[in-house]
A and B are shown apart, each in its own frame.
Chain A
Amino acid sequence: MPQPLDLMPTLLQGLWVTVQVYLGAAVFVLVCGVVVGSMRSSRHRWLRWPAKGYILGFRGVPALVLLFWFYYVMPAIGLRLPALAAGILALGLNFGAYAAELVRGAIAAVPSGQTEAAIALNMTPMQRMIRVIGPQATLRALPPMGSLNIELMKNTALVFFIGLHDLTFQGRILQNDTQRTVQIFTLALAMYFVLALCIMAASRGLERVMGRGMQGGAR
Chain B
Amino acid sequence: MQLQWDWSIAMEVLPHLIRGLWVTLLATAGGMTLALALGLMVTMARRARFRLVSWPVGAAIEFVRCTPLLIQLFFVYYLIPDFGWNTPLVTGILVLGIHYSAYTSEVYRAGIDNVPRGQWEAARALNLNRQQTWTRVIIPQAVPPIVPAMGNYLVAMFKDTPLLYAITVQEMLTRATNFSSRVFSTVEAYTLAGVLFLILSLLAAGLIHRAERQLVVRET
Beyond A77-B3, A157-B70, A157-B71, whether A68 also contacts B198 by CB under 8 A is no
B192-215 interface bits toward A, Cβ cutoff 8 Å, 1 = contact, 0 = none = 011001100110010000000000
Q: Which residues of B contact A69 (CB under 8 A)?
A: 190-191, 194
Q: Secondary structure at chain B's binding surface: helix, strand, loop or mixed?
A: helix
B28-39 interface bits toward A, Cβ cutoff 8 Å, 1 = contact, 0 = none = 000000000000
Closest-CB distance, A21 to chain B (whole angstroms): 12
A128 within 8 A of B: no
- Give the size of the chain A interface in residues (CB under 8 angstroms): 39
B68 within 8 A of A: yes
Bound-complex Cα distance A52 to B190 (A):
24
Q: Which residues of B contact A76 (CB under 8 A)?
A: 3-4, 185-187
Beyond A60-B197, A62-B197, A154-B68, whether A189 also contacts B162 by CB under 8 A is no
A30 within 8 A of B: no
Chain B residue nearest to A186 (CB atoms) is: B75
Q: Which residues of B contact A185 (CB under 8 A)?
A: 71, 74-75, 78-79
Q: Total A-B pairs in contact (CB under 8 Å)?
A: 110
Q: Which residues of B contact A182 (CB under 8 A)?
A: 79
Question: Which of A1-9, A133-141, A192-200 is near enough to bind chain B?
Answer: A192-200
Contact of B79 among A59, A157, A181, A197 (CB under 8 A): A181
Beyond A60-B198, A189-B67, whether A73 also contacts B162 by CB under 8 A is no
State whether B190 touches A73 (Cβ < 8 A). yes
Bound-complex Cα distance A1 to B211 (A):
58
State whether A197 touches B66 (Cβ < 8 A). yes
State whether B67 touches A192 (Cβ < 8 A). yes
Q: Which residues of B contact A197 (CB under 8 A)?
A: 66
Bound-complex Cα distance A164 to B119 (A):
54
Q: Which 9 A-B pairs have the closest CB atoms?
A: A196-B66, A157-B68, A62-B159, A78-B1, A185-B75, A157-B70, A60-B198, A64-B162, A154-B68
Question: Which of A43-51, A102-110, A167-175 is near enough to bind chain B?
Answer: A167-175
Beyond A65-B197, A158-B70, A188-B71, whether A60 also contacts B186 by CB under 8 A is no
B63 within 8 A of A: yes
Bound-complex Cα distance A59 to B208 (A):
15
Contact of A60 among B1, B165, B201 (CB under 8 A): B201
Contact of A68 among B78, B173, B185 (CB under 8 A): B173
Bound-complex Cα distance A23 to B48 (A):
39
Q: Which residues of A contact B165 (CB under 8 A)?
A: 64, 161
Closest-CB distance, A170 to chain B (whole angstroms): 11
Bound-complex Cα distance A172 to B68 (A):
14
Closest-CB distance, B158 to chain A (whole angstroms): 8
State whether A172 touches B190 (Cβ < 8 A). no
Contact of B67 among A77, A78, A158, A193 (CB under 8 A): A193
